[in-house]
Amino acid sequence: MTVLVDLTPLVDGRGPARLLDMRPGRSAEVLRTWLNQCTPGFRTNVQVVTMDGFAGYATAVDEALPAATKVMDPFHVVHLAADKLTGCRQRLQRETAGRRGCKDDPLYKYRRTLLSRTNYLTVRQKQRLNLLWATDDEYVALEVTWMFYQDMIQAYGHPKKSEGKKLMERIINTLHKRLPAGLEELAQLGRTLWRRREDVLAYFDIGASNGPVEAINGRLEHLRGIALGFRKLDNYILRCLIHSGQLQNRINAL
Give the pLDDT confidence of 83-142 residue by residue, as tens digits.
999 999 999 999 988 888 888 888 999 999 999 999 999 999 999 999 888 877 788 999
- SS3 letters for the chain? CEEEEECHHHHHCCCCCEEEEEECCCCHHHHHHHHHHCCHHHHHHCCEEEECCCHHHHHHHHHHCCCCEEEECHHHHHHHHHHHHHHHHHHHHHHHHCCCCCCCCHHHHCHHHHCCCHHHCCHHHHHHHHHHHHHCHHHHHHHHHHHHHHHHHHHHHCCCHHHHHHHHHHHHHHHHCCCCCCCHHHHHHHHHHHHCHHHHHHHHHHCCCCHHHHHHHHHHHHHHHHCCCCCCHHHHHHHHHHHHCCCHHHCCCC
Give the pLDDT confidence of 31-46 residue by residue, as tens digits.
999 999 999 999 999 9
Give the pLDDT confidence of 59-79 residue by residue, as tens digits.
999 999 999 999 999 999 999
pLDDT above 90 covers a percentage of the chain that reads 63
For residue 178, pLDDT beyond 50 = yes
Structure-model confidence comparison of residues 85 and 230, the more confident one: 85
Average pLDDT over residues 190-217: 92
For residue 254, pLDDT beyond 50 = no
For residue 16, pLDDT beyond 80 = yes
Full-model pTM: 0.88
Average pLDDT over residues 192-197: 96
Q: Across all residues in the chain, what is the average pLDDT?
A: 90
For residue 252, pLDDT beyond 60 = no
pLDDT band at 250 (very low <50, low <70, confident <90, very high): low
Give the pLDDT confidence of 42-58 residue by residue, as tens digits.
999 999 999 999 999 99
